[in-house]
Structure 1
Amino acid sequence: MNNKRIWELMGRKLAGEASVEELQELEGLLREHPDLHFPVEAIANIWKTTPDPAERAEGEEAHTRLINRMQDRGISIGLPAEEQQAAVFQLEEGKRRPWLRYVAAAAVAGVLIAAAAWWWQPSGKTAHSPAISEVATRNGSRTSVQLPDGSHVWLNAGSKLTYSKDFGNNNREVNLSGEAFFDIAKNADYPFIIHTARMDVKVLGTRFNLKAYPDDKMTEATLLQGSIEASLKGRPGERIILKPTEKILVSDDSSALHTVKASEPVMAVKHLTYYAEQEDAIVETSWMENKLVFRDESFASLAARMERWYGVTIRFADKQKEELRFTGVFAQENIQQALQALQMTAAFNYTLHGTEIIINQ
């Protein structure tokens, strides 16, 4: 990791001089190194705070001691001490030259990031950032990735997949938040394991869909080929083996699965559903064909899916409209065309403000 680049970008952000591209670069670097999120947030909070004179003097002394200690250990923090002092002095004197604001901010950010790294380093050990890779999609977008073991993963909107950078060497474990279609390369020595909030899925080599959005009441794994083993987080020791064309649904809400209320996660195994006469027109994987398919679905549930699909926010001013139910398929329709199509089968109105939609009477 290039520490210097991170605190340079952080310095520009604090000074208000960062471009959109630089902010995106900083965001990407922080995604690759999640261990820096806390110190970076702390840096931002400190920068916004104006201490009283006594606190400032004490802080400056501690700052100087820290610099000297870091330099004694051979750790470079970027700018020479003379330039840092000059920059900070000019900034505090109110001479608002953009480059001086940036130099001062970069100096402070660099010192604090270096300090954080040194502070959290275990005694007698070398500090290492968690080696985590992440692939994520925003609402309204989808993407795909080939993992180091040759497996392919397609991510639906609003989803995130994380895995260690030694993935494929001695493990094949990933974490999923959202929805993804997996085409897993076979490897009998190392099973492929997907962790979600409600259940884990273990496979050797197969094709299946897994939906585990954190805000949804249901987590769902749909098997197309091969076999998968599912285990529920709240029911240790219990394993469910799925066969092709089967799916497992897991929920914390027993009413969602029409089962007896229980204090532990409830689950049900069902068969795939189809939205057309063809056997490959599968509801659970229709998003892979760029189709949003819904069958007798409440408006509240459909609205949540439309938010991810179209990258919008939908709010119900009339709560009764949440109970409306719809069946249909959206393929090429934009958000306004989709809402107009729904209005043909149910009575409701809506107002559109940018990307915010309000459903009313």
Structure 2
Amino acid sequence: MNNEEVKLLLVKYITGEATPQELEQVKQWISAHPENEQYFVQLYDTWHNMLYLQPAVVNKDNAYNKLSTGMEPAEPSRYARLITWGKVAATIALLAAVTVTLYNRYSKNVESVRQIAANPGAIKKIVLSDGTQVWLNAGSKLNYTADFGKTTRTVYLEGEAFLISPPVKKRSLLL
């Protein structure tokens, strides 16, 4: 590398216009010999002293434009916006699915349970949909589902009750 090339590389390095490859060349040149390092320090000092003596050399508008372009946030790419909106849509869909599932599950359970209670000091008579007669003692509660007798005959009793199941009808087969 001749003197002119070295000077050009050093100026680019000092002004911040050197490419990564040129930066590496300058570093190698400086570390190659102590005289090279001394020359670089003198050139660096001279450059900065010249800027102090002649402030007109620095173009304030160019410097501001260069700085401000580096500070402006880059506009997100179309792909990045698509991913962001996809995440938002997936979150909304998930919340909607969970809400619908929970609503369906708990609203059926709440609506389907029926409760009958006898007041304290009174007896209450109930006839269930399958014909079962129930006498609830005072302060007792009976819970059953709305579809009682269709598939199952399950009741939940809290307290005392007397139950009479309807007679089972026998079917006769005619041959």
- Normalising by the smaller structure, the TM-score range is 0.3 to 0.5
Q: TM-score, normalised by structure 1?
A: 0.18
RCO higher in 1 or 2 (8 Å CA, sep ≥ 6)? 2
Q: TM-score, normalised by structure 2?
A: 0.36
Normalized per residue, which structure has more helix?
A: 2
Q: Which has the larger radius of gyration?
A: 2
